[in-house]
Amino acid sequence: MANVFEYLAYKLMGYRLNFLQATSLIHTQSVMKLKAQSNIMVLSYLWWVIEPLLYGVLFYFIFNWMMFQKSENFFIFILVGKVHFLWFSKSVIAGANSIIENKGLISQRVIPKYIFPLVNCQELLLKQVISLLTLMVIVLYCGYSASVTWLQLIPLTLLMYCFICGISLIASVFVTYAQDFRVVIQMGMMGLMFTSGIFWDINLIDDKSVQQALFTYNPLAVLVDCYRQILLFNQILSLAKLTPVLIWTSATIFVGSILLKACGNSLTRKLFL
């Protein structure tokens, strides 16, 4: 696979990539990685559907039965949250490790380092599209109804994808400089899982100041809640609610891009120390 990627990079860029060439390279490489993974796994593409379902069943059993928090729609509630949290956590972790994983390729070709985290993010976006389509079928099977409000899922998914890309760009810089940051990222994911409303409804928090703080400073909590509002309640999203996410997304992409551009040579030296 690395040889194919090297050939594409060589043919497309020389020494500099424009936007269209970079987009083509990112998409092509992400598709090739998906095909390679499907050839290795026995169940192939089915794993993209099975994995979130298994997580949903597991957490439903723990929280709805073992902890006696019985609720009719708890399974689908937790499934919506877990599907999107898995997308976020896997993408950020994969993006964070992407530059180190491509050390050999970096030693042979001058490739902009933002390519590597974005390839991993693009790969997991393609998986998420299948997971989201499956989730929509399950939601309908469980008795919920679809409406035109579901069209909001398209811009919402693009927004979450951009937010994931921004976080991944920043994380890739820190992990390349010090692999100890992998532990920090994993701990951060654990914290986000319990503070982003994956297992509980943030809208039920009695203290409105705490609720507002979560919606302001935790974009993932906003995004998960928006998916639930669309899929389960056919609500029209408010721009005011998404404004903090837009700000966080713009900030992370800007900071991540600046860091990778400013630290490009330094990151290369760090890889080969």
Which amino acid makes up residue 38?
S
Whole-number CA gyration radius for the chain: 20
| Tokens coding 228 | 């639930």
Query: Could you give the residue ranges of the DSSP H alpha helices within 196-238?
Result: 208-217, 219-233
Cβ proximity of 43 and 11 under 8 Å: no
With 80 as the cut, is the pLDDT of residue 16 above it? Answer: no
CA distances from 67 to 62, 71, 134, 157, 206 (A): 6, 12, 28, 32, 21
Cβ proximity of 203 and 211 under 8 Å: yes
Greater pLDDT, 19 or 224: 224
Measured CA to CA, the distance from residue 217 to residue 42 in angstroms comes to 41
Measured CA to CA, the distance from residue 175 to residue 193 in angstroms comes to 21
Mean pLDDT of 116-139: 90
What pLDDT does residue 7 have?
41
- pLDDT tens for 166-224 read 999 999 999 999 988 999 999 999 999 999 999 888 998 989 999 999 999 999 999 99
Which amino acid makes up residue 12?
L
| pLDDT level of residue 15 (50, 70, 90 thresholds) | very low
What pLDDT does residue 39 have?
56
This prediction has a pTM of: 0.85
- pLDDT tens for 113-127 read 899 999 999 989 988
With 90 as the cut, is the pLDDT of residue 254 above it? Answer: yes
- pLDDT tens for 47-88 read 666 776 776 677 667 665 655 555 667 888 888 998 999 999
Share of the chain above pLDDT 70, in %: 77
Q: Which of 270, 235, 273 is nearest to 148 (CA)?
A: 235
